[in-house]
Amino acid sequence: MPQLCSIDDAVEKVLREIDGPIHLGLPLGLGKPNSWVNALYQRCKQLPERELNIYTALCLGRPHAEPGLQQRFLQPFVERVFADYPELDFLGDLRRGELPANIRVEQFFMQPGSMLGNNDAQQNYVSSNYSHAARDINARGLNVLAQLVATDPLRPEHFSLSCNPDITLDLLPMLDKRRANGEKILYLAQVHSELPFMSGAAEITCERFDIQLQDPETSALFSTPNMPISLQDHCIGLHASTLVRDGGTLQIGIGSMGDALTAALLARDSNNSQYKALLDALSCTTDWQASIETIGGTETFAEGLYGCSEMFVNGLLVLADAGIIRRAVYPDLRVQQLASAGALDEQGRPLSIQALLDAGLASTLDAPRLAELQRYGLLAAEISWHEGQLNLPGSLQVPADLTNPQTQQALDTYLRPASNPAVLHGGFFLGPRSFYNRLNELSFEQRQRYAMTGICFINELYGQEQLKRLQRRDARFINTAFTMTLMGAAVSDQLENGRVLSGVGGQYNFVAQAHALADARSILLLRSWRESDGEVRSNIVWEYGHVTIPRHLRDIVVTEYGIADLRGKTDSQVIEALLNISDSRFQAELIKQAQENGKLDKAFQLDTRYSNNLPERLEALQAQYSAIFDEFALGCDFTPEERDLLRALTWLKGNFKLKQIVRLGKATLEAPKPAAFMPQLQRMSLAEPHGLREKLYQRLLLAGLQATSSTAH
């Protein structure tokens, strides 16, 4: 069993037992034992002769805002939602450029956009596929692994890696091998009282760890509140939802586009008539009908989906609660073969002995085959074999020949559901507070259906490839990009000047996997335009100085205007398909660039069906289908007043620029009296403004509230 230590004693044990530089590995995201990491960090700051190297990803910090209206909105919200979550001390110093010379932080994925201007973080970023992270961290000489874990009173000898088995399960065999060769490597665990206990591969014996912090962590888990789903994102999600095939496999990522896809799938299943009517209004079922029929569908989910996603996001749990994520897969190849052949029902129980035979089960049961079926859970344990006969309860004996009608009739009553079914495999999770609460509400048996496991199982095909291919039928790996070249290359992780926004993560893994599976598709979600520095710009461009997914791996791209199926197409066909889903404000220039570079015929004319790709066309549909365009379709951490304020502040951000200063000034002059929005003003401490600055803030806020009050849903 691990040695129980206080935080300070655990720090001293590491300093004492690790000779030379400390190479500390921490899980990405939620699974870091922040309080202990802070204690070690502060101790090493006092010991300049001790080198501390930290290898991790996705270091989570509270959102910050500059002084002004944004800060007035954000600070009370942050205090309420993040409560006593302990910030990582090294993250604060890294942001301020104050890391001491003896401490280094390397990350392979960063909180999106948080380190764009930080030279230290940019210089120490490691570009690795998610599935290669364990290999690369181990190669750096990792000698301390520290992680938050969960416990269950019914499983006292076990820890659950809970939110982060992803890299840890891949690392442990590598580290164990080094330990067996005499290297000193320490494993440290700290229990968090609110972490859900996830079983299966995520459950490991306590004795695997050397140190356990004696006091469980009780502070708030870091959460990612559901943000508003914009009209642009909703339309992207609607188009993408038509490409998901019933009975297939689904992977989605974090963010509002993933939430929009979830909302659209919910509408497809529970509000199908209105869902189809909206698709017709978007011209989706006419312009993209061939792709929808070939790749996906628009009917309700009769078979359900299996989730296979590196990140177990809130949307996947919502889909599971709605009965959409429900197609079970099994860890044993033979059982999965039976399931794939249609021999098992939705609960995993064989339909009949004859169904098992039709699926390829041997017709004669000997003792080893009987034991195998019982190990899989398919036959009751009380059946035994003796000299070609099966002994059943009640002294009944039947031949071990499964083609025998008497045997079939007798055994059909002893068929049982297969063991260890899973409707979802995930590598890590992170989400809103309601997501953690919901997982903790589930019974242990219900939670077992969400199988948290190592990232190499999810993100790669090799290793149990035959099993994975059967499980991942009709896979739709759906991720996001922020820019797409007109030739089909995707940009998702860094700017063309080399500055990293986030990281490659597992995106390349899933794109490559989509090409390796016979019936899978990679779907990249893209907002066709963005507003930046006061200008509206296209996210579909002729060229870009960096790519995440090269154009030879191009597949499907979805924007708010439609679907571009690029697989196997010529360059000119790819260009035309992307022009069809680009914003019409930029189509002429894109056509000109393609023609000037000889990639598009000079006589090319854009189909008139795609010449009205404008936000105004989509806005006209919003009021008519308000139930589907719910901006908080997956729940909300904001109060009603905060929702109003969020819309108003977004409007102000979009209008506070030189070219629209006259419009903004006019709006402030015409702003309503404070009484019209008193609860919102009170939330911002602007009900009774003091001084010129606060009076200006109040007028600006009132203008924004008035301008956006009609868009509330």
pLDDT tens across 659-691, in order? 455 555 555 666 678 888 999 999 999 999 898
Least confident of 66-75, 403-412, 483-492, 576-585: 66-75
DSSP tag of 686: -
DSSP state for residue 142 in the 8-state scheme: -
CA distance 589 to 543: 13
Tell me the average pLDDT across 438-444: 95
Q: What are the structure tokens assigned to 337, written together? A: 């073969």
For the segment 590-613, the average pLDDT, to the nearest whole number, is 96
Give the integer Cα–Cα distance in Å for 606 and 587.
9
Mean pLDDT (whole number) for 549-558 = 97
In this prediction the pTM is: 0.94
Q: Which of 192, 278, 199, 189 is nearest to 239 (CA)?
A: 278
How far apart CA 312 and CA 624 sit, in angstroms, is 33
Q: Model confidence at 698, in pLDDT bands (50, 70, 90)?
A: confident
Question: 3-213: CATH homologous superfamily?
Answer: Glutaconate Coenzyme A-transferase (3.40.1080.10)
Q: Which two tokens stand for residue 351?
A: 């339909």
DSSP symbol at 87: -
Residue 603 amino acid letter: A
Residue 17: pLDDT band by 50, 70, 90 thresholds?
very high
Topology adopted by domain 232-300+454-617: Glutaconate Coenzyme A-transferase (3.40.1080)
pLDDT at 657: 58
pLDDT of residue 659: 47
* pLDDT tens string 23-37: 999 999 999 999 999
- Supply the DSSP string of 380-410, one letter for each residue: -TT-EEETTEEEETTTEEEESBTTSHHHHHH
Give residue 696's pLDDT.
84
Residue type, 142: L
Take residue 341 and report the two structure tokens written for it.
């052949």
Instruction: Check residues 674 and 189 and name the one with the higher pLDDT.
Output: 189
Q: Domain limits of the chain? A: 3-213, 232-300+454-617, 333-412, 640-711
What pLDDT is attached to residue 661? 52
More confident residue, 65 or 250: 250
State whether residue 463 is helix, strand or coil.
coil
Q: Long-range contacts: 567-570, Cβ < 8 Å, 24+?
A: 567/521
Residue 663: what pLDDT?
Answer: 55
pLDDT at 154 over 70: yes
**In angstroms, what is the C-alpha Rg of the chain?**
28
d(CA 87, CA 84): 9
Over the chain, what is the mean pLDDT? 94
The predicted-structure confidence for 524-541, as pLDDT tens digits, reads as follows 999 999 987 668 999 999
Residue 616, pLDDT above cutoff 80: yes
Q: What is the pLDDT of residue 326?
A: 97
Amino acid at position 172, single letter:
L
Quick one: what percent of the chain has pLDDT higher than 90? 87
Task: Say whether pLDDT at 706 is over 90.
Answer: no
For range 38-53, the mean pLDDT:
97
Q: Is 13 exposed, middle or buried (CB count within 10 Å of its CB: 0-12, 13-18, 19+)?
A: middle
CA atoms within 13 A on the CB side of 325: 26
Burial class of residue 650 in the structure, from the number of CB atoms within 10 Å of its CB (0-12 exposed, 13-18 middle, 19+ buried): middle
d(CA 590, CA 608): 16
CB 437 within 8 A of CB 635: no
Q: Is there a shared CATH topology between the 3-213 domain and the 232-300+454-617 domain? A: yes
Ordered DSSP codes for 529-554: EEEETTEEEESEES--S--SB-GGG-
Least confident piece of the model among 9-18, 21-30, 567-576, 621-630? 621-630
Cα–chain center distance at 513: 17
- Contact at 8 Å (CB) between 597 and 486? no
